Amino acid sequence: MQRVFILIAVFFLYSTALAQQKDFYAKSIKAYQKNYVESHEVVPKKDKKYFRFYPADSKYNVSCHFERITDTVGFTMNTSANTLKFYYRYGQLDFMIDDKEYLLYVYQSKDLMQSEKYRNYLFVPFTDATTGDETYGSGRYLEFYIQDIQNNILQLDFNKAYNPYCAYSPDYKCPIPPKENFLTVAIRAGEMNFAKGH
């Protein structure tokens, strides 16, 4: 009988700790979103009420295996203004969502590599099964730095996925995610469609 009580107590403590962890994570994402909205450079204060986000969901905070790609040729990525931007494939991310494996390519901008501030900046534009419906029609972005990859592991949090500037104004030249970065899964995390047209 005592053993049963001990097991119940352990289960209760574990459940409580798990709930507290999820609550802390949700609050951290809320704080991240609030800062994102308040500090946004393109959307004026009067329109900030039109930002929309999915509720925080830790299943979209994925641990990825990173594989380096040595790309010395590079390629051009189309933009929303029908111009081209030059990128190199820096690596590939391999991760699981709902027990299914997915891949995304990581890119490095040729132009930004010349900047001391952004030479380690990496870029993951992507589309998924929500694109053009619940989320922006040209896809969303994630970003991080080379130093965020530790022992070929990267923590990629889709709850921090954001819209390109062209979602709010036609005055920007936003890279359009290549077809190789289309995810067949619906990523219901991060920023949704902006609720005001332009």
Separation between Cα atoms, residue 57 and residue 66, nearest integer Å: 22
pLDDT band at 120 (very low <50, low <70, confident <90, very high): very high
Task: Inform me whether the pLDDT recorded for 19 exceeds 80.
Answer: no
Q: What pLDDT, in 10s, does the model give residues 54-105?
A: 999 999 999 999 999 999 999 999 999 999 999 999 999 999 999 999 999 9
The residue type at 96: M
Q: Check residue 101 and give its pLDDT.
A: 98
**C-alpha gyration radius of the chain:** 19
99 contacts 76 by C-beta, under 8 angstroms? no
The whole-model pTM stands at 0.88
Averaged pLDDT for residues 33-56: 97
Phi-psi region of 98 (alpha: psi -120 to 50; beta: other; left: phi over 0): left
Share of the chain above pLDDT 90, in %: 86
Q: Check residue 197 and give its pLDDT.
A: 77
Q: Check residue 2 and give its pLDDT.
A: 59
pLDDT band at 22 (very low <50, low <70, confident <90, very high): confident
Burial pattern 39-48, b for ≥16 Cβ within 10 A else e, equals ebeebeeeee
